[in-house]
A and B are shown apart, each in its own frame.
Chain A
Amino acid sequence: MLDPFNLPYVQEGLIEILLLAVAAGLIGPWIVLRGLSFYSHAIGTAAFPGLVLADGLSFSPALGAFGMAGIFTGLSALISRSRRASADSVTALALVTCLAAGVILASDVFSSGSNIDTLLFGSLLAIGPADLWLAAAAAVLALLATGLFSDRWLAKGFDPESASTLRSGSRWLDAILLAVVAITVTASLSAVGALLVSALMVVPAATVRLVARRVSTLQAGTVLLVAAEGTVGLWLSVKTDAPPGATVAVVSGSVFGLTLLARVFERKARARGYARTA
């Protein structure tokens, strides 16, 4: 039953997903709590033309992705300072522009052809040493950022009005959060691609959020859930010959749906129990 994990390329995929579980598990909760889900999805899509350029011009995909993600993050931080522009509408505009630019570059300029699928949906079964190093670096960065800033990110998200009196209202703290999210998302691209990045970064954290009562529980639970969903998704994709990124996304979405249903039934059962005893 566990035969797939004897294959070297599956083992590399497993190490990749376990490293990403640390990064996504620690940073994903902040994406959910601070309302950055759309931003994180947009970062993934913004990196797409960078990946196409790297593929076409034969330079490091990580460099292309980081370059585009960096430009996007910088512009988002600048635009978010303006009261006239809605952050969501600017993010949506950038997302569509980047996706269109990536598709045009891939189809008309570099004729990337079959590579587009890989860039958009990842290739967890074709992980190289550079991808593993990048995921490890993202995991270390997530650990460092959590250790240094999580209390202040929490204080700002919980009570933005009082954040400055708690030394947690600085724009630098927000910029660091955006940058860490951008780096973590970019490190995940080789595994799940530009379009499925939410499967690792958002959905597991949103799932654990349904049951967690403290941030530390939310983070620990999300690390474990990403690792479990990634492992199951990887195994399923080998067994069924399905694309691994998409399989992980389906597993992730299914677990969220089941958890939500369980919560709804639990609440109804509790209400019925109360009505019976009243």
Chain B
Amino acid sequence: MTMSDTTSNDPLFAEAADMAAGYDGRPVLTDVTFDVKPGETIGILGPNGGGKTTLFRCLLGQIEPLIGTLVVNATSATVPQSDRSRLDYPVTCLDVATMGALARLPWWRRPGRADRAKAGKALELVGLGERSGDSFGELSGGQRQRALIARALTAEAQLLLLDEPYTGLDTASTALLDQLIADLAADGRSVLITTHDVDQARQWDRVLCLNGSQVIFGEPADVLDREVLEATYGGQIIAIPGEPGYGVLPADHCGDDHDGHVHHGHTDETP
């Protein structure tokens, strides 16, 4: 997946310098320095509680940095994990996509015919044109994820923040989502994707590793080594017996007389 050439000279969509962010004056994420170029895909790696959600909230303008600077020059939209939505709501795929128009409209305006047409086109772009009348709750996890991306497209977002979008997806849905992310980047949009899958992160333009503070930011081939992953996940990378890959052993097990099992359930395979 490569960055769109046509947009490489455009101004940055976002730029953070020595930023710290948190809640009630207490930082949960520190020393963050990175930038987002137009048409770029960035993987965000880190353990649960590592600061990924806090970073997204900063980029969305929901919280202000405690110190440092964060400049966002693009319309941002979040694409949450689809099971966090109310799957029992009486809404169709088109209704969900149309909700994106609310981000652009003043409070007294309702989405009109043109907004619904735009939402319909967004659904076609994500491959759900024929499912627009289906109930959102009856779609598969991958389809729901793409419907939420269509909502972000209807909002005319240039910077899309995807929160663990691959969770629970099968191989076919994963491939569809991979292609969609590549298409969005080729169209000049930037996509930030949180993930626990190191293999997946290697295919994106750059990676940002967080564990309470920034561990590293750069191109995957340059920065994703064993040392960085151990610092990111606060544990020790170990070979999984009988498996062609590695896992992260939690920090509290490091140095112990362990039996080689992965205790934390985090089993990202690395080549």
Residues of A within 8 A of B (CB): 33, 147-148, 150-152, 154-155, 157-159, 161-162, 164-168, 209, 212-215, 217-218
B110 and A147 contacting across the interface, CB-CB below 8 Å: yes
Q: A148-B108, A151-B110, A161-B84 are in contact. Are A166 and B92 (CB under 8 A)?
A: no
A152 and B102 contacting across the interface, CB-CB below 8 Å: yes
Chain A contact residues, majority secondary structure: helix
* Cα–Cα distance between A167 and B111 once the two chains are bound (Å): 13
Of all chain A residues, which has the CB nearest B57?
A: A164
Report chain B residues within 8 Å CB of A158. 85-86, 89, 91, 96, 99
A151 and B89 contacting across the interface, CB-CB below 8 Å: no
* Cα–Cα distance between A275 and B93 once the two chains are bound (Å): 29
The reply to whether the CB of B76 lies closer than 8 angstroms to some CB of chain A is: yes
A167 and B102 contacting across the interface, CB-CB below 8 Å: yes
Contact of A215 among B84, B85, B91, B155 (CB under 8 A): B91
* Cα–Cα distance between A158 and B151 once the two chains are bound (Å): 13
The reply to whether the CB of B60 lies closer than 8 angstroms to some CB of chain A is: yes
B91 and A165 contacting across the interface, CB-CB below 8 Å: no
Report chain A residues within 8 Å CB of B91. 154, 158, 214-215
Contact of A213 among B80, B92, B105 (CB under 8 A): B92
The reply to whether the CB of B103 lies closer than 8 angstroms to some CB of chain A is: yes
B102 and A212 contacting across the interface, CB-CB below 8 Å: no
* Cα–Cα distance between A215 and B98 once the two chains are bound (Å): 14
21 contacts between A and B (CB under 8 A): A33-B90, A147-B110, A148-B107, A148-B110, A150-B110, A151-B111, A152-B107, A157-B86, A157-B89, A158-B96, A159-B80, A159-B84, A162-B77, A164-B60, A164-B62, A165-B60, A165-B62, A165-B76, A165-B103, A213-B92, A214-B90
Interchain nearest-CB distance for B108 vs A (Å) = 6
Of all chain A residues, which has the CB nearest B108?
A: A148
Q: A164-B62, A166-B155, A167-B103 are in contact. Are A159 and B90 (CB under 8 A)?
A: no
